[in-house]
Structure 1
Amino acid sequence: MRLLLIRHGQTPSNLGHFLDTALPGPGLTDLGVRQASALPRALAGEDIASLYASTLTRTQLTAAPLAAERGIDVRVRDGIRELSAGDLEMRADEDAVRQYLTTAFGWSAGDIARRMPGGENGTEALARFDAVVAEAAGAGERSTVALVSHGAAIRVWTAARARNVTVGFAAEHRLENTGVVVVEGSPASGWTALSWAGTVVPGVTASGAADAGPAGRTLRGPKQEPPAGPPSD
Structure 2
Amino acid sequence: MTFSRLFLARHGQTTGNVAGVLRGVDSQHDELTAEGHAQAQALARKLAALNLDSPRIYASTYTRTQQTAAPAAELLGVSVTVLEGIQEIDPGDWRGRPYSDLKTGFDELVGPDDNVSFPGGESQRDVADRFETALRSVLGLPGTPIVVSHGGALTSLLIRLLRVPVVESWRSDRFAQANAELTELIQTIDGWQIKQRPEKIWRI
1:157-190 residue CA offsets vs partner (Å, 9 max, x unmatched): 112221579727961464211001111117x863
TM-score, structure 2 normalization:
0.81
Q: 2: distance between equivalents of 1:21 and 1:150?
A: 11
| Contact 1:85 1:100 survives alignment (8 Å) | no
CA drift at 1:8: 0.3
1:77-107 residue CA offsets vs partner (Å, 9 max, x unmatched): 231111111111132163366546873xx58
Question: What SS does the corresponding residue of 2:41 show, helix, strand or coil?
Answer: helix
Q: 2: distance between equivalents of 1:40 and 1:101?
A: 38
Partner of 1:9: 12
Q: 1: distance between equivalents of 2:185 and 2:196?
A: 7
Partner of 1:76: 82
CA drift at 1:120: 1.8
Q: After TM superposition, list the pairs within 5 Å mapping 1:1-233 onto structure 2.
A: 1-23=4-26, 24-44=28-48, 45-47=50-52, 48-92=54-98, 94-95=100-101, 98-99=104-105, 103=109, 111-112=114-115, 115-140=117-142, 143-163=143-163, 167=169, 171-172=173-174, 174-185=176-187, 190-196=191-197, 198-199=198-199, 214=203, 216=204
User: Percent identity among equivalent residues?
Assistant: 31
CA drift at 1:61: 0.5
- Which structure is higher in helix share? 2
1:17-63 residue CA offsets vs partner (Å, 9 max, x unmatched): 11132152410000001111222211121415211101111000000
| Contact 1:5 1:147 survives alignment (8 Å) | yes
| Contact 2:10 2:181 survives alignment (8 Å) | yes
| Contact 2:186 2:195 survives alignment (8 Å) | yes
Partner of 1:203: none
How many residues align structurally?
A: 196
Report the AA paired with residue 154 of structure 1. L
Q: 2: distance between equivalents of 1:102 and 1:61?
A: 33
| Contact 1:2 1:184 survives alignment (8 Å) | yes
| Contact 2:24 2:91 survives alignment (8 Å) | yes
CA drift at 1:2: 1.0
| Contact 1:9 1:32 survives alignment (8 Å) | yes
Report the AA paired with residue 4 of structure 1. F
| Contact 1:7 1:176 survives alignment (8 Å) | yes
TM-score, structure 1 normalization:
0.72
| Contact 1:19 1:90 survives alignment (8 Å) | yes
User: For structure 2, which runs of at least 5 residues remain unmatched after alignment?
Assistant: none
Report the AA paired with residue 83 of structure 2. R
144-153 or 120-129, which deviates more: 120-129
Question: What SS does the corresponding residue of 2:24 show, helix, strand or coil?
Answer: coil
| Contact 2:5 2:185 survives alignment (8 Å) | yes
| Contact 2:169 2:175 survives alignment (8 Å) | no
Compared with structure 1, are the counterparts of its residues 34 and 94 closer, same or farther at alpha carbon in structure 2 (3 Å cutoff)? Answer: closer
Report the AA paired with residue 41 of structure 1. R
